[in-house]
A and B are shown apart, each in its own frame.
Chain A
Amino acid sequence: SQKIEQNSEALNIQEGKTATLTCNYTNYSPAYLQWYRQDPGRGPVFLLLIRENEKEKRKERLKVTFDTTLKQSLFHITASQPADSATYLCALEGTGNQFYFGTGTSLTVIP
C-alpha cells in the first residue's frame, strides 16, 4: 500500500528564516502531489499542487519541488512569519482515487 513519510520531528525556526519540509513516498508513482496547511481543530487548507512533469512550483513565499526519481517533494516557506506556524501535510492520489496523506510536520516560527 501507499506510504508517505514527512519530517518526523516538529520543526522550530526563527522568524525570517526559510523552513524546509520533506515528503517521501513509496510504492506509487503519482501524477501529482499536493500540500495542505492544517491549524489546530480545523480542516486542512489546500496550498499548492505540483505535477509529475514539473520540477518546481511557486506561490508567493511558498515553493514546492518534486523529484520523481527520489520519490520526494520538498516544501519551502521563505521569510517565515509566526503566522506560518501550523501543521503541513503532503498528499497524493493513489489507485482507486484514494487520497493518502502524510502524518504532517508541525512547524513553529519563533519571533
Chain B
Amino acid sequence: DTGVSQDPRHKITKRGQNVTFRCDPISEHNRLYWYRQTLGQGPEFLTYFQNEAQLEKSRLLSDRFSAERPKGSFSTLEIQRTEQGDSAMYLCASRWTGSSYEQYFGPGTRLTVT
C-alpha cells in the first residue's frame, strides 16, 4: 500500500450533472476525511468518518453533497446538481487514530463545472 489514492484525478462536468468521487485510504486507517480546496485557500473540512460511521459534517456540506464509507474501507463523495461554485479540488485524507494525529492526503480530484 503506497498511500491514499483518489479517482478520478480530474473531472469536467456540466452544471446540473451529478458527480461521484472515490477515495481509497491507507488500509489500516480507521478515520477518513474529505476536504475542499479552492485556489489560494487552505483545505476546508467537509466531513469525516470513523470506520463506516459519518460523525461530523461541516455547514459547507449542503444537501446536494453526500458521502459514504461502506464497510469502513473506501469512501465516495457525491455532488448532485453541480453548480459552478462547486469547482474546486476535493481532497481525501486518512489517519490511524491509535498512534498519531498525522493525516495522509491523497492527490485530490480537481472538479471543473462548466
Contact = CB atoms under 8 A, between A and B. Distances in A.
Interface string A90-111: 0101001111111110000000
A102 to B, nearest CB: 5
A100 B107 contact: no
Interface in A35-91: 41-46, 49, 89, 91
B5 to A, nearest CB: 11
Interface string B74-114: 00000000000000000101000000111111111000000
B105 A45 contact: yes
Contact of B105 (A32, A43, A97): A43
Contact of B42 (A97, A98, A104): A104
Nearest to A100: B45
Contacts of B58: 98
Interface string A8-46: 000000000000000000000000101000000111111
Contacts, number: 57
A90 B102 CA distance: 12
Given A101-B42, A103-B40, A44 B105 contact: yes
Contacts of B104: 46
A32 to B, nearest CB: 6
B30 to A, nearest CB: 12
Interface residues of A, number: 22
A32 B42 CA distance: 18
Given A43-B91, A46-B102, A98 B108 contact: no
A42 B100 CA distance: 22
A100 B64 CA distance: 22
Contacts of A43: 4, 91, 93, 105-108
A102 B37 CA distance: 11
Contacts of B93: 43
A94 B56 CA distance: 12
Nearest to A31: B101
Given A93-B101, A99-B33, A99-B103, A44 B48 contact: no
